[in-house]
Amino acid sequence: MNFSVRIDPVSGRRYMAVDEKGEHVLTYPLVNKSTAFSQHEREELDLHGLLPPGVSTIEHQLARVYGSFKLKRTAIEQYMHLTALQDRNETLFYRLLQEHIDEMMPVVYTPVVGEACQRYSHIYRRHRGLYISYEQRDRIPDLLRNYGRDRVAVIVVTDGERILGLGDQGVGGMGIPIGKLCLYTLCAGVSPHATLPITLDVGTDNEDRLADPLYMGLRHERIRGERYQEFVDAFVEAVSEVFPEAVLQWEDFHKGNAIRQLDRFRDKICSFNDDIQGTAGVVLAGIYSALRITGQPMRDQRVLFAGAGAAAHGIASLLVTALVEDGLSREEAVARIYTVDSRGLVTTDRPNLEDFKAAHARDAKELEGWELATPGQATLLEAVSNARPTMILGTSGTPGTFDEPVVRAMAEVNEQPIVFPLSNPTSQAECHPEDAIRWSGGRAILATGSPFEPVTWEGGVHRIGQGNNAFIFPGVGLGLTVARARKVTDEMFLDAAKALAAQVTEEDLAQRAVFPSLDRIRDCSLAVACATIRRAVDQGHADPDILNGLEETVRGAMWTPEYLPVRYEP
């Protein structure tokens, strides 16, 4: 069955045209309205008898699906319930998510999607997106065409090697691109008609998956090295050929591959990596908001990272861009950044430093003047006492990294220390916000990666802002597709961060929250999309005509989960 959204020439209203009748209409989740088909539509589409006679409103249907959601006892059952709804009726699915965003986002994305990826081969029910396996490497364009869509706006692709904090999940990693694209639609109104989740299957090194008789991916260890890169190159070439206008988002690749693919393709296609650039954008937005509380300029900041992985790499390079923009030379900006990994402060004298660690390694000579228990080696606490950072950013994935001495030391060297325990999920956060508030005498400004309850301190409420990437990547993606941008740059993420920080209200700041609440996310995405487009035009990566009536254009492009009339037009 073919279907498309059309405009009625007389009324000017949108409707969905389908070229088949009967049961087919009920099996396409982007078309199906189920019991909400009107009597007139049932007549025209031969649906009488296939549905109970009473016509439901979408509100009735919402009450029904939310009621059955509430009957599910475990998170994975809730996930499966929502997936089944998405596969039956996407409009209702997104409407349910929109109405209960705080409750639903952790189910369709982190943390529950992690469990879904681990159990993917056991809970699989229905196809969605594309699986491109290494064995099919010579016919990738054919596979992309099998998706059956003329236009794809956003592709999210993973190779399943570093799924959240859960490592290699092989083909089960597909839960991530599906979940991420769901957030594109929910948070920024990117039409679900135009999204494409993809898993590149190059095998898995996960022994449990390989030993599982139900595992659905290729049953060999991962293809690596040149053969891997040739496969990824062939994939990118095929995407450019079949979906030349698509934005390509790299997702949950192992950090070395993530950085390599980003660098390899950033000037060739419109692509970005959310783990690196989206994270950087959202954290920078939190920093800009925190500086609204402290009243300090960006150029005066000194930043200490606990964790020197992919997330730190992305945040550090965007911070350098932000510091340079605020008046520092590149050299001065780089000198404001310190990184500590599991072995202590990263210094230039370490053997075999990976590229991204080397970029922010401190000159070993600098430590000569520091007070240290072991000369030449600084712990996180010693780095705080000696480097006197204005903020510490936790990207270590290790709980307890921001312990009492570290937070107290931050509070000693700063009137209002900025302390961001960003690691996910909740159990991995570097500290509990409540502890950091207590240890700093209520002075720390916090933002986390996972949601936390508000903290009451001396009669005041501290709402803990969540640096959720969903505040950035869906809006950036929307902006890129609306403007048909040709390239993604770091400066776009810088402006996206500023636009998001500007969405933080005085009321939010009064509660010391550096991010807006999730229920405002669509407005935030609109602002982020417009900022992305303005910068794209400014840098010559999009056509300037888009700036006329920009906000209206972007708002008009945002899909909303509402039923359209369905008509039979063979």
Catalytic positions: 109, 180
* 273 sits near ligand NAD (criterion: CB under 6 A): no
**HEC-encoded secondary structure of 190-201:** CCHHHEEEEEEE
State the residue for tokens 């699986």.
Answer: 131
Bridge partners for 460 per DSSP:
457
- Residue 566 contacts residue 15 (beta carbons within 8 Å): yes
- Residue 200 contacts residue 241 (beta carbons within 8 Å): no
Q: Left, alpha or beta for 208 (phi > 0: left; psi -120 to 50: alpha)? A: alpha
Q: Please, which residue, 248 or 285, has the CB nearer to ligand NAD?
A: 285
Q: Please, which residue, 257 or 489, has the CB nearer to ligand NAD?
A: 257
Rounded distance between C-alpha atoms, residue 158 and residue 181, angstroms:
12
* C-beta neighbour count of 535 within 10 angstroms: 24
Q: Please, which residue, 160 or 561, has the CB nearer to ligand NAD?
A: 160
Shortest spacing between CB 483 and ligand NAD, in angstroms: 25
DSSP-assigned letter for residue 19: S
Provide the mask over 415-434, with x wherever binding to ligand NAD is found by CB under 6 A and - wherever it is not: -------xxx---x------
End-to-end CA distance of the chain: 10
Q: Count the alpha carbons within 13 Å of 438 in the hemisphere toward its beta carbon.
A: 10
* 469 sits near ligand NAD (criterion: CB under 6 A): yes
- CB proximity list for 549: less than 8 A, separation 6 or greater: none
Candidate list 342, 427, 456, 505; residue touching ligand NAD; CB under 6 A: 342
Q: Which tokens sit at 381?
A: 């606490």
Stretch 117-176 residues interacting with ligand NAD (CB under 6 A): 165
Task: Specify the stretch interacting with ligand NAD by CB under 6 A; choose among 68-76, 133-141, 397-405, 524-532.
Answer: 397-405
Q: Which residue is nearest to ligand NAD (CB)?
A: 309
H/E element holding 68? helix 58-71
DSSP-assigned letter for residue 136: G
Q: Please, which residue, 144 or 284, has the CB nearer to ligand NAD?
A: 284
Q: Which tokens sit at 117?
A: 């990826």
Task: Specify the stretch interacting with ligand NAD by CB under 6 A; choose among 10-18, 47-55, 329-337, 392-400.
Answer: 392-400
Closest to 19 (Cα-Cα) out of 38, 44, 43:
44
- Residue 255 contacts residue 468 (beta carbons within 8 Å): no
Q: Please, which residue, 4 or 427, has the CB nearer to ligand NAD?
A: 427
Shortest spacing between CB 233 and ligand NAD, in angstroms: 24
Provide the mask over 83-122, with x wherever binding to ligand NAD is found by CB under 6 A and - wherever it is not: ----------------------------------------
Q: Please, which residue, 58 or 407, has the CB nearer to ligand NAD?
A: 407
Provide the mask over 297-336, with x wherever binding to ligand NAD is found by CB under 6 A and - wherever it is not: ---------xxxxxxx------------------------
* 256 sits near ligand NAD (criterion: CB under 6 A): no
Radius of gyration of the chain (CA): 24
* 275 sits near ligand NAD (criterion: CB under 6 A): yes
Provide the mask over 197-236, with x wherever binding to ligand NAD is found by CB under 6 A and - wherever it is not: ----------------------------------------
Task: Specify the stretch interacting with ligand NAD by CB under 6 A; choose among 137-145, 340-348, 403-411, 451-459.
Answer: 340-348
- H-assigned helices in 89-174: 90-99, 101-108, 112-118, 120-123, 140-146
Candidate list 32, 78, 169, 396; residue touching ligand NAD; CB under 6 A: 396
Shortest spacing between CB 466 and ligand NAD, in angstroms: 8
Q: Which tokens sit at 373?
A: 């228990």
Bridge partners for 5 per DSSP:
16
- Residue 198 contacts residue 231 (beta carbons within 8 Å): no
Stretch 433-452 residues interacting with ligand NAD (CB under 6 A): 449
- Number of residues near ligand NAD (by CB under 6 A): 27
Residues at the interface with ligand NAD (CB under 6 A): 165, 255, 275, 279, 282, 306-312, 340-342, 395-398, 401, 422-424, 428, 449, 467, 469
